[in-house]
Structures are given as structure tokens and as C-alpha cells.
Structure 1
Amino acid sequence: MRPRLAGMAIVTLLALTTACGGGGAEQPADGPVTITMWTRAATQAQSERLVKAYNSGHRNQVKLTVIPTDNYQPRVAAAAGAKQLPDLFASDVIFVPNYTSQGLFLDLTDRIAALPYRDKLAPSHMKLGTMDGRQYTLPHTLDLSVWFWNKDLYAKAGLDPEQGPKTLKEFAEHATTIDEKLGEGGKVHGTFFGGNCGGCYVFTFWPSVWAAGGQVMNPEGTTSLNDQAAMTEVFAIWRGLYDKGVTGPTAKEEQGPTWAGFFPQGEIGVMPMPSTTLGVMPADMKIGVAPISGPDGGESTFVGGDSIGVSATTRNADAAWDFLSWTVSDEAQVEVMAKNKDVLARTDLAGNKYSAEDPRVVLINSLVAKGETPYALRFGQTFNDPQGPWLRLAREAVFGDAAKVPQLNAEVTKSLTQ
């Protein structure tokens, strides 16, 4: 789940008549098969690289269509209702349970079981692609939440530029020091976050809860635990940073689209960031990367990104699987994904020859096995919708009346079960 999706509610999908474990009658073909694939614009670069590499070395070909991210769910819903889905389509991993529950993906359980590295596939993505013990999707792209720190600002503030924060409390201390030492004039700030962005909160705050051994929901995704001690302490630390002005004046209004744009300008000391932004940072910028920690330690991450599956109505199931299984092969993961500094879908390839050139990339890849992707069928309405109850809860906890959190948490639970 990328934070830029804040505000996009889950679209009600029309169920297919095809059974979940059914089909995909195969289209007879004497020659090469061209299969169709959809992906959202948020994963365009990675998808195009994979398709180009596959097409250059295989008789079968993949025709990729990239759809604007905000239009993606309505397009899938319309195609599902008309039974005109492409052979393959990707989805923000957080919404995969909705698609599987409505029969949009072909059951891939037996095919996945035959992969020699089936137990090394990104566990969070595989979990959300599983329903009633059956598996429907593979990891497509991954984006993790991590802490970045600006080594030059650390040095100027008298901090050790080679030692990033190891706890959320230390994170707050570093950010405060940078703001106090370098913040005069208002250009440099200790940290920043998306304070009016539901997706930003879950992507960057929840890992601190998991690192502390807490949870934000029950396993079924029907009960909110965001009024519990672990979340309360995380909120309190961030509230303290805002109250002291360490987060900068615009954090309260930041709705998501530009929340990650300030760090690359060299204006922020330390902040949670999407791991995929490491490869697009200024070449001369000295950046440290650390796992997100809880108030007193531990480490975790929000494993976002996309999963991909074969549509239940495909007539080219074997050809579609040939491409899909190739995307998680050693060749694709190392020579396409790792070569371009992308996070890998397999935990056994974290230290490959390309990633090994940058310890930060190795660290990011290693977090895939330690992070979480929360499961909830009503995730979008509850946590991403700017009119939903989660954003109201988070804003009261950080900027308003924290005493309202228990009541608002009950509203989050109500939203999850409606």
C-alpha cells in the first residue's frame, strides 16, 4: 500500500460466476501466445522492465497496459463485471483479499507448490494472497517503510553521521537535536510526516507498533487495536515532536502527495520514507538507512507494493503462469529487479551480487521477512479514505484531544465490520 493512495476507497466489485478454484479454460494455440497484463501506474517502471526482459527471451509475449493508479480499481471492477479481465493483473497488495474473495483470480495453489523456492516468497504478500488455504497471487513489486537520515545534517548538528536511530525515542532525540542546532531560519527541520494522510500514518507509524510487539488489528481484520498501549506510545512520541515544532509547520496539513518530497531536498534530518525512493535520491546525497523501530527497540516495516495473479476468466492460463513464475525466478529477481535496486520478492536472494554493492539495499531486502502487511477486507474505507474513521483517530491522537481515541477506535472497528 503506497501512501499516495490516501483517499481511495475500495470499489465494490461485481462477483464473477467463475468459481475461485476453477478454471481458465485453455485457448488452443499452434504458435506463440500473446497474453494481456494490467498494472497501475505506481508500479509502471518495474512492470515494464519485467515485461521487456521476458519478451526478449521467450516465444510467448506479454502486452502490458498501464492504468492511472486512481482509476485502477474502477477499471478492474468494470472488467470483472463484463468478464473482460486481462490474462494477468496486479493489485496493491492491501486490496488483494477483496479480489480473491470475489473470485477474480485463478487458484494457483498447485502451481506455486511446485516452485522450489515457494517458502522464500515474500511472506506478507503470500499471506494476503491466500484464502481458505488456497493461494492466488505472487509478489510483484515491494515497497517497504524505513528510516532515512541525512548524514551531512547529522554531522553539522554534532551527531555521528554513521549511526542512525535504533529506537523511536532515539529517532525523536536525533530529530530534535537537528532542529535545535540547524532549524534557525525555518528551512531545515528535524523530521516530517504526512499528518493529514491516512495511508501515511499506517505506512510509517504502524511498524513502530509491530517492532514493539504490538498489533493494530486482530488477525481477521475486524477489530481495531489502535487504542492500545503500543500505539498510544507511538502517537505520544510523534505528538511531542509536532508540539516542539520539530516536524515543520506543514506536517499537520500534508495530505500525502508531497510527503516524501522534502527529504531529497536536504531539508530533513531523519524521517520515515518508502524504500523505493532510495534509488531516485540525488547522487551526491549521503543517506543512511535504518529499520523502523519501536519506542525502545525492535525493528519492523510495512511491506507494501503489489501482488499479481492470473485472472479467473483467462483462456491462456499456462502461458500466463509461464510469465508469472518467471518473474520470481533467479534470473528475473537478480538480473532485472536487483540490478535496478528494487526490493526483491524472495528472501533467499537478499544478498545477491547487485544488492551486495550497497549495504543499505541488503538491509532493505532483509526486512521483507520481518515486516507485516495488515489484512482487512475493508481496509480502504477504514484506513485510506480521508473521510474514514482512522484519519480522524490519528489526527486527534497527534494534534487534538487524545481522550477521544477510544471512542474513535470503536468507530474504526465498526467500519471494519460493516
Structure 2
Amino acid sequence: MRSRARIPALALALTALVGLTACGGAGQESPGASADGVTITMWTRAATQAQSRRLVDAYNKTHKNQVKLTVIPTDNYQPRIAAAAGARQLPDVFAADVIFVPNYTAQGLFLDITDRVKALPYAGSLAPSHMRLGTANGRMHTLPHTLDLSVWFWNKDLYEKAGLDPEQGPKSLKEFAEHATTIDEKLGEDGKVHGTFFGGNCGGCYVFTFWPSVWAAGGQVMNAEGTVSHNAEPPMTEVFAIWRDLYDKGVTGPTAKEEQGPTWTGFFPKGEIGVMPMPSTTLGSMPADMKIGVTAIAGPDGGESTFVGGDSIGVSSTSRNPDAAWEFISWTVSDEAQVEVMAKNKDVLARTDLADNKYSSADPRVVLINSLVAKGQTPYAPRFGQTFNDPQGPWLRLAREAMFGDPAKLPQLDADITKSLQQ
């Protein structure tokens, strides 16, 4: 969700593929065929290229079949997919932001892999949010590829200097606000240290970091069909109120209101922020000497949840090598790939049964992050990008009014969100 990518008007470009059968496109091998010595093509977006590259390199070193990976700039990724789909020139395998997978599945861009997934001995342990968004009409089309979770990071050194227990992170959003306020009051005189930070002009940032507090409180931000918004109702309004109070008191720092996303995670690694929501993938890139605590995002009074972001991966419906493609994507969720490639690099795992493994067990923070995969959510909405990610969309208008404007306007702005979701 850190990217600000928007869904283009896919319908015209993708209608050519709607008629494809669930079994795939031209040149499909028989279900039991064994591909050997085949080179398949794969596309991924730049935002997740590091994990994709590690998996592809490890696979190529140990298999006769090979994968040729193409990395496409994130902002150009969806137009490239749309153009390739319309021309029936999709790669054998492609990854996609999990939020947008339902759109691709609805347009028939992925093969139906239901029977193959069910045959995996760990099928029930695959990241549930990713699997849900890749399933349509009871049929599965994708596997989890990369995962990025929203969590709370706290700076233990700043906690200790402010008189807080450095080993105890916040257990509720109210306590989060108390910790942030204490740090700002005790350490913020020079203007370099602030209690917390957020992306105040970034729709995806709000989604990624505020919505888990709603889920942790037992609420929802929209209906299960992704067509009716609940963002002007409690507990969302209570979450907004707590964060607005932090902003009004100056606890969030002077640039939060205009932060559009690209630099919102850049202040914490510099030691300037006491506690804030962060992408889990940033843990591995933090300064080695920085003492960091990690905990689940909580609701106003407790609970825990996370936004399960990242990418899903599937075999394209025009693949000429579907069996070789399946061999690769199924390997990416195997014990070997998940432990020796992903866990070894502190990446979040695509399987809940491997959360505590020989690599992650050395760092309790990684174990905690992996354990949240089963507890978090990935919201479903066919028009998610236009509504929530687009900087000109209705969600950002509502969030900014809630944080910096007139909360009395939220019901009408929420109606605008619902209207966008239903277009």
C-alpha cells in the first residue's frame, strides 16, 4: 500500500480475455504433463522486485526449468498488464498487488488452479487474506507471493530517555497516543524528535495504518462486497479523533499534513520518531545499532490486527507453459523457498505454519510479524484503486477532512466513497 498506483480503465483493454476458459489459453499442456527444460517468463512490479528476484534466482540455481524475470516500474505496471492482456501477450506468470487481484481474476487473466492448490499438503496454511482475494466463485487463481504487513515500531532509546519502559510497546491506540505525547513533550524541544508521524496526504498510507485499528476494534471499513463504505461510523471516527488530537497538539511533526507517501517511512530510521505505524518489510533495512520494538496495531481500547499487503502470483491464462509455470509458483510457497529464501532474509512468510522457523526464531519481532498474517485483513473492493489509492479519489478527501477539516462533513464524503465503489 505504500505505492500510490492507480487502477486504469482496464475494461476495454481486458475484454478480449473475458471469453477465455478457466483452463487457460493457447498451447496449454495436459494437466499431468511434466515440463522439463522450459524457460518461462515472469513479470513483477518494482515495489516487490527484491523478493521476486531472490525467489527466481534460487529457483534457477536448482531447477532445469528456468524463469526469466522482467521488472516493471510500479506506476507503469497496471497499464502494461492491460496492454498485454488485450494483445494476448501476457507472460507465463505475473505477480500483482493483492488489492488488484480481484479485478484481474474477474477479467480472466489468471488460470484456475483450484485442484492444484488443494493438492498441496499445506494448502490450509497459505496466507488467508491473499487466498481470499484470489478466489472467485469458489475457484482459486493465485498464490501468495510477497507479504507486507502494517505494524507499530517504537524506538527503545527514545522510550528510555522519555521515562517510558523501553521493553513495553503500546497495547491500544489510546496508549499509543499517550506514549507519543510523552516522547514529544519530554524530547521534542529542539524540534528534531517527534512523538509519531503519518502520511497525511497519502490515501494508501491512511488505509495501511489506520484501518487495522478499526479491525482490531471489531469494526469494518466497508461491507464484504466492497460496495458500501463505513468510514464515517465508529470505530473509524474514533480512530480519526485520536490521530487528529495528536496532530492538533503537534505530536506528529510539522510535515505530516502534506506528506504524500514517498518519504513517510524515512524519519523513523533516523531516530527522530518515538512510535509510529510502519511496513513490516522495513525492519530488515533499519540501522543495525538501532533498538526497535515491534508490536501489532491495536484499536482504541486494544485488540490487534494488520493490513496484509504485498503481491499475489498466478499463471496467466495465455501461458504456453502452464505446467512449468505451476511448478515454479508452487515451489515459491514450498518449505525450501519459504524458509531458505524468504525467512533467511527476514521476509514475511506466505504460510502461517512456518511462522516460527529456524531463522525467524532468532528474532521474536519476526515471529510476531509472521504470526499476524493469520490475524490481519486485506480489504476487498472491485474499485479499490480509484476510490482509496487515487490522490484525486473520495477517500483522501474524507481522511483529510477528518484529520484537518470539519468532521461534520464525513457522512456526505462517506456517501461519495460508496458512490465510487458502486460505479
Q: 1:19 corresponds to which residue? A: 20
Q: CA deviation at 1:11?
A: 3.9
1:259, 1:30 → 2: CA distance? Answer: 45
TM-aligned CA distance change 1:144 to 1:81, over 3 Å: same
**Residue of 150, 154, 176 corresponding to 1:149:** 154
Out of 246, 270, 284, the residue aligned to residue 279 of structure 1 is 284
1:222 corresponds to = 227
Q: 1:319 aligns with which of 299, 309, 324?
A: 324
Aligned to 2:370: 365
Work out whether residues 42 and 69 of structure 2, in 8 Å CA contact, stay in contact via their aligned partners in 1: yes
Cα distance in 1 between the residues matched to 2:117 and 2:109? 18
Structure 1 counterpart of 2:82: 77
| Counterpart Cα distance in 2 of 1:299 and 1:30 | 44
Q: Give the distance between the partners of 1:359 and 1:135, measured in 2 at CA.
A: 33
Letter in 2 for 1:22: C
Identity, % of aligned positions: 81
Deviation at 1:23, TM superposition (A): 2.0
Residue in 2 that maps onto 1:396: 401
1:281-308, Cα deviation, whole Å (9 max, x unpaired): 0000000001000000000000000000
2:168 equivalent to 1:170: no
What secondary structure sits across from 1:141 in the alignment? strand
CA distance in 2, matches of 1:113, 1:19: 23
Separation of aligned partners in 2, 1:327 and 1:30: 17
Corresponding residue for residue 7 of structure 2: 9
Secondary structure of the corresponding residue to residue 183 of structure 2: helix
CA contact (8 A) 1:7 1:386 kept: no
Please give the alpha-carbon distance, in whole angstroms, between the structure 2 residues aligned to 1:272 and 1:62: 36
Task: Determine the C-alpha separation between the residues in 1 that align with 2:65 and 2:415.
Answer: 52
The answer to whether the 8 Å contact 1:14/1:80 transfers is: yes
1:7, CA displacement in angstroms?
A: 5.4
Aligned partner of 1:328: which letter?
V
Moved over 6 A (4+): none
Note the alpha carbon deviations across 1:346-398, whole angstroms, 9 max, x for none.
00000000000000000000000000000000000000000000000000001
Distance 1:30 1:407 in 2: 56
Q: Distance in 2 between matches of 1:31 and 1:308?
A: 21
State the distance in 2 between where 1:223 and 1:409 align.
Answer: 9
Q: Which runs of 5+ in 1 are unaligned?
A: none
- Local SS of the residue matching 1:257: coil
* 3-state SS in 2 of match to 1:36: strand
Q: Are the equivalent residues in 2 in contact too, given 1:10–1:378 (CA < 8 A)?
A: no
| Distance in 1 between residues matched to 2:272 and 2:36, nearest whole Å | 56
CA gap 1:280/1:30 in 2 versus in 1, 3 angstroms: closer
CA offset at residue 26 of structure 1? 2.7
Unpaired runs of at least 5, structure 2: none
1:128 aligned to 2:133? yes
Q: C-alpha root-mean-square deviation of aligned residues, in Å?
A: 1.2
> What is the one-letter code of the residue matched to 2:185?
E
The equivalences for 1:83-122 within 5 A come to 83-122=88-127
Alignment of 1:198-209 (within 5 A): 198-209=203-214
Q: Give, in whole Å, the separation in 2 of the partners of 1:153 and 1:161.
A: 8
- In structure 2, the residue matched to 1:49 is 54
Map Cα deviations across residues 167-201 of structure 1 (whole Å, 9 max, x no partner).
00000000000000000011000000000000000
CA separation in 2, counterparts of 1:10 and 1:358?
Answer: 41
User: What letter is aligned with 1:138?
Assistant: L
Report the Cα distance in structure 1 between the residues aligned to 2:9 and 2:67, rounded to whole angstroms: 27
Query: Which has the higher mean CA deviation after the structures are superposed, 134-143 or 31-40?
Result: 31-40
The size of the alignment, in residue pairs, is 416
Letter of the structure 2 residue corresponding to residue 171 of structure 1: F
**Alpha-carbon distance, 1:315 to partner:** 1.1
Tell me the residue number matched to 1:346.
Answer: 351
- In structure 2, the CA distance between the partners of 1:20 and 1:227, relative to structure 1 (3 Å rule), is farther
Is the 8 Å Cα contact of residues 20 and 105 (structure 1) preserved in structure 2? no
For 2:391, the equivalent position in structure 1 comes to 386
How far apart in 2 are the matches of 1:86 and 1:121? 24
User: What residue number does 1:330 align with?
Assistant: 335
* One-letter amino acid matched to 1:409: D
| Offset at residue 125 of structure 1 (A) | 0.1
> In structure 1, what residue type is equivalent to 2:354?
L
Q: Supply the distance in 2 between the matched residues of 1:169 and 1:198 (Cα, whole angstroms).
A: 23
SS at match of 1:252: helix
Kindly provide the amino acid, as one letter, of the partner of residue 6 in structure 1: R
Structure 1 CA distance, aligned partners of 2:136 and 2:152?
A: 33
Deviation of the 1:14 alpha carbon: 1.5
Tell me what 1:213 maps to. Answer: 218
TM-score with structure 2 setting the length:
0.97
